[in-house]
């Protein structure tokens, strides 16, 4: 059902400041910008219009990428969880030549990055704190078809690893789509409607897919996406593989 992890979304307060950090301090490359006009925010759980400005930050591979996103409407809210036992996606893991040994870094908004040395920059995976590691592992395997990896689970054939950690204080996963920090993880699928039906068949509630305009800077008219939650309320997303529809304008950054 799933092709691969397409991106992890990190909400930031100042896009240009965060792009500079991930580019200059971590070594990622700005790949493509999405900056659409305001649109219906119901797919994101937003009551009213939604608008964002974002850069897809790449390690040189087509996927996964970081969807580094600044919300324009509504404005960013909250702060990334600082308690180590908070539920939800708590850290993104990367390899980078910028460090000599394993270390923890915070981005400009306080989002935690777990870095380890490597000859080149690589997005390695994401850590998700859960109330019950066994129950969550079973849920991700049953609902999404993930398979065991070295230290967690992964989409079959995918190198991006999802690790589960036991949440200790049960501070909830982020509820609002515009909450600062790592909010959602997106899986690429062939058909969003078919993926939603399969998810429902496994007993997971999931709204119908919604059409998202992605703005004029990428060669598609938009895409179908569906947003749903895991056992602890962490936001996950299906993205339907889009077909190119238009020419891309030259980079105007």
At residue 33, does pLDDT exceed 50?
Answer: yes
Residue 252 lies in a domain: no
At residue 70, does pLDDT exceed 90?
Answer: yes
With a pLDDT cut of 70, the percent of the chain lying above it is 96
The pTM of the full predicted model, rounded to 2 decimals, is: 0.93
Task: Work out the average pLDDT over 177-197.
Answer: 97
Residue 253 lies in a domain: no
Residue 175 lies in a domain: yes
Residue 65 lies in a domain: yes
Residue 121 lies in a domain: yes
At residue 46, does pLDDT exceed 70?
Answer: yes
Identify the pLDDT of residue 198.
Answer: 97
pLDDT tier at 244, thresholds 50, 70, 90: low
Residue 249 lies in a domain: no
Residue 198 lies in a domain: yes
CATH number of residue 211's parent domain: 3.10.180.10
Residue 194 lies in a domain: yes
For 142-159, how does the pLDDT look when each residue is reduced to its tens digit (9 = 90+)?
999 999 999 999 999 999
Domains of the chain: total: 1
At residue 38, does pLDDT exceed 50?
Answer: yes
Identify the pLDDT of residue 180.
Answer: 98
Mean pLDDT over the full length of the chain: 93
3-state secondary structure the chain: CEEEEEEEEEEECCHHHHHHHHHHHHCCEEEEEECCCCEECHHHCCCCEEEEEEEEEECCCCCCEEEEEEEEECCCECCCCCCCCCCEEEEEEEEECCCCCCEEEECCCCCEEEEEECCCCEEEEEEEEECCHHHHHHHHHHHHCCEECCCCEECCCCCCEEEEEECCCCCCCCCCCCECEEEEEEEEECCHHHHHHHHHHCCCCCCCCEEECCCCCCCCCCEEEEEEECCCCCEEEEEECCCCCCCCCCCCC
Identify the pLDDT of residue 81.
Answer: 86
Domain ranges, residue 158:
2-240
């Amino acid at each position: 059902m799933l092709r691969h992890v397409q991106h992890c979304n990190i909400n930031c307060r100042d896009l240009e400041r965060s792009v500079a950090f991930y580019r200059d301090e971590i070594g990622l490359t700005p790949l493509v910008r999405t900056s659409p006009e305001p649109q219906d925010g119901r797919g994101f759980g937003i009551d009213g219009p939604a608008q964002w400005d974002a850069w897809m930050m790449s390690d040189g591979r087509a996927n996964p990428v970081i969807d580094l996103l600044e919300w324009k409407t509504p404005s960013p809210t909250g702060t990334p969880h600082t308690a180590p036992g908070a539920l939800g996606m708590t850290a993104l893991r990367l390899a980078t030549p910028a460090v000599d040994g394993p270390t923890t870094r915070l981005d400009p908004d306080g989002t935690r990055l777990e870095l380890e040395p490597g000859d080149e920059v690589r997005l390695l995976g994401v850590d998700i704190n859960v109330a019950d590691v066994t129950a969550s592992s079973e849920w991700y395997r049953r609902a999404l078809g993930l398979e065991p990896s070295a230290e967690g689970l992964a989409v079959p054939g995918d190198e991006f690893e999802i690790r589960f950690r036991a949440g200790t204080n049960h501070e909830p996963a982020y509820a609002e789509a515009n909450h600062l920090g790592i909010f959602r993880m997106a899986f690429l699928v062939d058909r969003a409607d078919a993926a939603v039906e399969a998810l429902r068949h496994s007993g997971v509630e999931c709204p119908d897919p919604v059409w998202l305009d992605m703005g004029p800077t990428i060669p598609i008219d938009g895409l179908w996406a569906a947003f749903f939650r895991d056992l602890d309320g962490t936001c996950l997303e299906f993205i339907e593989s889009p077909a190119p529809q238009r020419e891309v304008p030259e980079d105007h950054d």
